[in-house]
Structure 1
Amino acid sequence: MLRWWILDTFFKKELLDMQNYYKRKLEDIEINANKKTTMIELVHSILKENNHVIVGEDINKMKEQVLVVQWVINNDIWFMLYSERYKAINNHPRIMASYVSSYGKDPYIRIDDIIVEDNDVGNGSILMPYFIKYCKTTDAKYICGQLSTYDKGHFNRSEHFYKKHEFNVKFTSERSSGSIKYILA
């Protein structure tokens, strides 16, 4: 009894600080355990999908762990990011492309679209190296694509992005549309 009175009287603040410290530590452990459980469930859901292969993982600028998933079927090539936030079928940041081969011409890969849910968080820069690496395993000679008038308001950002990944970027003289090209060596 006397011992508890002494602790309560003389060390109450220290004991409360210690209790709060360990309470925060326990909360952090629970949060991390929940994140790991979510990622494991995400991996299981990806692996259930046909032709989906996890080819990497990274952390974007929002400090969010993302899984890089490759989906290739016939001539369609997709690279997508999955995460706790990007798990619905329509909101994966992704590169969608097609392998094109016609008689008498060099085969190439055409970027059909790049969709990112959030700008300036690094998702496109996470996807692009995986996409280029895959393209280099094919017999395609280059990657190409068009910069649509629909995206005219984003041309500066698009130009910066593609040049950062070593694409050649060309615009029409009025800068209303353009094209991109990456030589696969």
Structure 2
Amino acid sequence: MTQIGILEREEIRGKDEIKQELDALEIQLFRMQENMRKIAKKNEIISIDQTKHGGWVVIYASKGSNKYQIMLHDCSKPYRGKWDGAIETTYKDQHTLHIADIKGEENKGYGSVLMKYIKEIADEENIQSITGDIAKRDFDHVERLKHFYRKHDFDVKIDYEEQCGEIVW
């Protein structure tokens, strides 16, 4: 095959790939619109964001008198009333949010996206610190938790003997 033939083949393959990507994006945007419409019926939509893998997620919140929960839904599938990731916090006092739990599938980037938004909310509400506990039930993945929290600028203290710990931002 000549040099020109190879270039023409690459150009055609490139166009086909671009068309597939655009078609996939169009489907994802339609699904995102539908998901947002359903989520907005019961929750406050905060934003749309991307995970570390490039997937689009809808970020939404539910706020009570003493609780603040931020959730996300992965737009690769239709919303059926359940979140894909969530960070649950309580107000310890007017200056402190306490992380009660972070839930969701591991290694999807959901925790990092949620952490970004809980920190933004803390800034907006003039919250001076975010705290949390590492419980005995967390010790099967304590090193992963330690890495996660440090990556998000938390001070992490672990008592390996007592199998507990605390985090502060």
Q: Provide the TM-score with structure 1 as the length reference.
A: 0.73
C-alpha distance in 2 between matches for 1:31 and 1:164: 32
Unaligned residue ranges in structure 1 (runs of 5+): 1-13
Question: What one-letter code is carried by the residue in structure 1 that aligns with 2:88?
Answer: M
Q: Structure 1 residue 74 and structure 2 residue 65: aligned?
A: yes
- How far apart are the structure 2 equivalents of 1:69 and 1:86? 15
Matches within 5 A, 1:1-185: 29-49=22-42, 52-84=43-75, 85=77, 87-101=79-93, 107-117=95-105, 119-174=106-161, 176-182=163-169
> Larger Rg: 1 or 2?
1
Matched residue SS, 2:52: coil
CA displacement at 1:97 relative to structure 2: 0.5
**Normalized against structure 2, the TM-score is what?**
0.79
Unaligned runs of 5+ in 2: 1-7
1:168 Cα deviation (Å)? 1.0
Give 3-state SS (helix, strand or coil) of 1:120's partner: coil
Q: Distance in 2 between matches of 1:175 and 1:90?
A: 35
- RMSD, aligned CA: 2.7
Q: Percent of counterpart pairs with the same letter?
A: 25
Q: 1:155 to 1:22 in 2, by over 3 A?
A: closer
**Would the alpha carbon gap of residues 112 and 37 (structure 1) be closer, same or farther in structure 2, given more than 3 Å must change?**
same
